[in-house]
Structure 1
């Protein structure tokens, strides 16, 4: 392949990772925004407001339960068949489930079957999400040149940021235009039904990408040796790396859902702020993330993945108490500043270098399955439970200090796991030294 063709495919892979991730994670994140504002009323109307929020976050967490299974199965499929096929499949899984949520009858219409159907669709969403993010990162990193993998890996995290921005802008716009009562009655369905549009646009973008050279090389080697990769091969070959990924996910993923999900509910239900306050905070932070993600990715190419990751984790922990004190002032602009620092600066310093680091930890034969499974297993223990646990702690204590302790525990686990992991910035990812021998 010519140098020009290589550059073209690198850009195509980055664009596919960015836009595809925006569209798919819009599907997944739109539930987080809805859980804090609407679904507690629509699907759990007979419960008091705080308990209704807990129930909505409980179904939110359910979406994370199927993510490791999706990571294992879809990741295995991606390592055997191809990255592209998996990324197209995840489009239909996540987008279809999201659209179906928008069409669900409410509790008042069909009773207990409404939250049951909601749980099933969240499980399907989670299964697709299990292979989506890792597939997008692996595709872009494997297409990137050495010395540029940190920047290339940041395309998918940028997509996650843009998806968070898009999901909240859509919700805020619908809420502002319709008014709260109309929005709760039926307007909340519109952001979910737009998931169908995400599927079509994402498919058009991803159908044109090609498989990375590293994957083609590994696949050819497997075909010559007539050896097959088992579904649990990644765990058997890379047990240490799996544990490192799970550990380092604790802080990053916990903070990923702490601000846009729990804090949104905390400000509105707990402190009585207008819903628009938290939405504007998330929107401002996500706008900054679009700059911070590639900046931290490039920084990790220069000084290494781990130093940037460690810095982001420490800053996230140190900002917790100032953030809650800021919330207590009641100042709109102070709260916006709190979101900007915590979610717009500290969090990207973890998320951006993490992407390329996870891809580099695993060898090509096991890269997608190892990355996806271990990352999504960490998602259950961190992001999936964080909003629920934080809400329960606040309900129990009536104060934010237990939440600070809980989030700092997640951060400490991440720092310990980072200390155990290798620096991979100079690793040759095409050197697939873990050859299949069984």
Structure 2
């Protein structure tokens, strides 16, 4: 009895440690990734590209944001294989070190004024390293938490991965805010913008300290102990779960919403060429406020997905956000900062969490343990690559001087969100399937959950 109780307590502690590791690691790593997104929208067009044509500078800066996603499918193949063969913990440490190095290097990079064309070239190379590194973060962290989490609570525990991501975005904007507000525009553009990038040195130390304490999940250890096949995880993923991978690619198109909100929306609102005229230091409060609301909503939505399922929440989120993207861009177009704040809080801070809080459990639940990280990493990063090209497309088809920008960009965003809803509808409901059966075509909910549902039905009937 004592041994069983101690074992249960140990599993509980490891589940909490894995969740904390996923939360903090994702926050730190996505702090790095999103300070680049903020800088690409707000200041990089003036620093790293020729200033002769504002439209070309904006398009080029948006493209360097997207370049990071080009490396993500490549990183997904390598890091996914590493995570499925060397362990979830090891791949997360590797991702952290690569990301920290690349981000600090951006903070030391000379501008176009000093080294000419080499400035954007080196910026692109470092962005590629960032994209390669981040490709394994969410899939590795989500798989680790999922495999440590108790049955029936995977949605709740898994949601903390994305709560960490949102917290990282809050931190990224919060670092920029006082710098943009208290520093002169000249000082901020000259050297102040480098401070958030150089602060990433802490990522390397914090990431190592936090993640070294977590054990590999029991499901992964058990799979490794009995692994005898020579088939690589990547090959197995494409061979056995290509349908699940297509679902993940499709649902990942929901990333169009943060792209519209924080990347194109920020450039549309603050770049002088567009003529909206929102102040940079003021506009940065929009992602801060939206992410603060998201941080509060995510655990509740994750827990709700354990009760009503993953698919309904994702589908409702996709349809709602697709329609609301029109309102958000319209608010910017009419120079209404309060309305832009309100629509951002509702769309991105709340409705979007029906997808954002749920996919860390929904995506890895589509796959078996032996190739879970590879399949999720490759599929998700392929979908994200598609949406990452959208900022440059938005800036091109809806550049400065274009009429009906909210309609053009909003229509593209709405189509992407609709495709994500269709992909979620086509997938199986995985919330009540046991860990050992996930990814198998004949998987069924546990008897315990079926009994629980039958008992709830009987209670409701007796109440009537």
Give TM-score scaled by structure 1 length. Answer: 0.95
Question: C-alpha separation between the residues in 1 aligned to 2:290 and 2:51?
Answer: 34
Structure 1 match to 2:456:
none
The structure 1 segments of at least 4 consecutive aligned residues displaced by more than 4 Å after TM superposition are 432-435
- 2:328 is aligned to 323
Give the structure 1 partner of residue 445 of structure 2: none
Q: Which residue in 2 is equivalent to 1:429? A: 435
Correspondence for 1:241: 244
Tell whether 2:77 aligns with 1:51. Answer: no
Unaligned runs of 5+ in 1: none
| Aligned 1:66-145 pairs, distance under 5 A | 66-145=71-150
Aligned position for 2:303: 298
Whether the aligned pair in 2 keeps the contact of 1:73 and 1:231 (CA below 8 Å) is: no
In 2, distance between residues paired with 1:265 and 1:287? Answer: 21
Kept after mapping to 2: 8 A contact 1:259/1:343: yes
Q: Note the residue ranges of structure 2 that are not aligned, 5 or more in a row.
A: 1-5, 442-464
Q: Cα–Cα, structure 1 residues 325 and 356, in superposed 2: closer, same or farther, change >3 Å?
A: same
Match of 2:264 among 262, 265, 269: 262
1:253 counterpart residue number: 255
Contact 1:137 1:356 in 2 (8 A): yes
Q: 1:433 to 1:25 in 2, by over 3 A?
A: closer
Structure 1 residue 311 corresponds to structure 2 residue 313:
no
Tell me what 1:342 maps to: 347
Which residue number corresponds to residue 178 of structure 1?
A: 183
1:368 corresponds, among 355, 370, 373, to 373
Aligned 8 A contact 2:106 2:126 in 1: yes
Match of 1:14 in 2: 19
2:320 matches 1:286: no
Query: 1:78·1:368 contact (CA, 8 Å) conserved in 2?
Result: yes
1:191 to 187, 190, 196: 196
CA distance in 2 between partners of 1:163 and 1:199 (Å): 15
Do structure 1's residue 386 and structure 2's residue 372 form an aligned pair? no
Aligned residues: CA RMSD: 1.6
* Pair 1:31 & 2:36 matched: yes
Q: Number of paired residues? A: 431
Change beyond 3 A, Cα 1:419–1:433:
closer
Please give the per-residue CA displacement for 1:335-369, whole angstroms capped at 9, x wherever unaligned: 21111011101211111111100010000001000
Q: Deviations over 1:36-92 (max 9, x none)?
A: 111111100334323211111111111000101111110111111100000000001
Highest CA radius of gyration, 1 or 2?
2
Structure 2 counterpart of 1:201, from 203, 206, 215: 206
Distance 2:408 2:103 in 1: 34
Q: CA deviation at 1:415?
A: 1.6
| Kept in 2: contact 1:263–1:278 (CA 8 A) | no
- Comparing 398-407 and 323-332, the one that deviates more: 323-332
How many Å separate the matches in 1 of 2:300 and 2:61?
Answer: 35
